[in-house]
A and B are shown apart, each in its own frame.
Chain A
């Protein structure tokens, strides 16, 4: 009994959960782009949903409950449903038969390595300080967004607005 108590409270379970979620995230992410069993876009989309869900599991382990919930709500619940909606209306057969082109593969690898390079560089430059305050986290996040990061926040909002107006304009049949 005592041993089990120690095991649970000692963070061992958290560590195990981290590795489980991390492995799931990586596995599902690989299956999104390179699934050896199926080339159906719907399968890829479903694995992307699983990737997002396991990533929100990682957020949970970091006690970032708000981010985890928003991750599922926005990406898995709304964006991916729209993806699926569009994919299902497309001609799936043609997409499954399509050959992988060398140029596409090379371009993909190059862009992935560039992003990975930026990621590693920025990770290396982070100095670990004391753990941030996580209680009342939604409040803290909101306060940060509207004080310290107001300008980037507003710029992103305007970007989204512009994109929205553009989409509405494009999807109208006649422009005049």
Chain B
């Protein structure tokens, strides 16, 4: 560890946090736009500062697509009254949004978002236990929601918190079990090694399609997105765990949810869709030039954005599960399926060796 390492890590850290925050802001806009298209509406289309229309060429586009909506939303969140209801447990009420955001931001630390640029690996922490680290951090995410539900001292948020803890634990198990075939095939927990294995042998989704399906559905459940958004089910629980929150504290829960979306999309890309690799145009081996390094990052971002769109699309296409259906799916369908999948993969590997 030397001085250089610290400087480059800080730069990478700043870029990653900046990019994730930007993605979060604009995925909110994307969510509103896509939902509008699905429901045959227009969506945000006129939010722009007055000078924007005088910009040549870009001007009309910027004013028409609501490109400044995230900025307006952010300002609105900051200037709204930060209201603390009577009877809340103060410390937890203040702590919960932070506890929700921190794990959401930490997960991206181990994800290799590109190959190399110069002599720098495009990953913040190249851990040997990358996958376990992500699962550990993801499992901490539930505390923010549970504490928010507990602190609010009100019935509906409490139900939201309780539902969330049960749901997270159930789906964490099937999520953890679903990646074991991947680990069996690759034989390594390091995410960079998993990607380089995929560069040599083809994407893992072809070797473990069932694992991918279980992983994807479980990550929907882990991020509390529809059809698994029971902790914040609007029709039953008012707003779920964040009913009593307002202003920036509420925005932090939003930020946590979308950061979780970003990181689980990144995990899906890394584990099952070859990370930054593409099988053609010579993009399947670590970059030798800066341009290729950039291209790798671009490929990774594109794949990730695809899954973000899937997340959003599913939210507006499918109704919410009933609670017993949710538990049934997690424990009686996915867990046995994942276990059988492990067994079959192990047998297949044994036959081949």
Contact = CB atoms under 8 A, between A and B. Distances in A.
A78 B136 contact: no
A138 interface: yes
Contacts of A77: 135-136, 138-140, 142, 172
Contact of B132 (A9, A66, A78, A84): A66
Contacts of A49: 143
Interface stretch (B41-49, B51-59, B161-169, B245-253): B161-169
Contacts of A78: 139, 169, 172
Interface in B118-159: 127-129, 132-133, 135-140, 142-143, 146-147, 150, 158
B351 interface: no
A135 B278 CA distance: 30
A76 B140 contact: yes
Contacts of A89: 162
Interface in B157-210: 158, 161-162, 165-166, 168-169, 172, 189
A65 interface: yes
In which size bucket is the chain A interface? 20 to 34
A81 B129 contact: no
Given A65-B129, A72-B140, A9 B2 contact: yes
Contacts of B168: 81
A42 B153 CA distance: 13
Contacts of B291: none
Contacts of B129: 65-66, 68-69, 138
A123 interface: no
A110 interface: no
Interface in A2-43: 4-5, 8-9, 42
Contacts of A65: 127-129, 133
A42 B140 contact: no
Contact of B139 (A42, A81, A138): A81
A115 interface: no
A4 B3 contact: yes
Please give me the 7 A-B residue pairs with the lowest Cβ-Cβ distance, nearest first.
Answer: A77-B139, A69-B132, A72-B136, A73-B136, A65-B129, A69-B129, A85-B165
Interface of B: 1-3, 6, 92, 127-129, 132-133, 135-140, 142-143, 146-147, 150, 158, 161-162, 165-166, 168-169, 172, 189
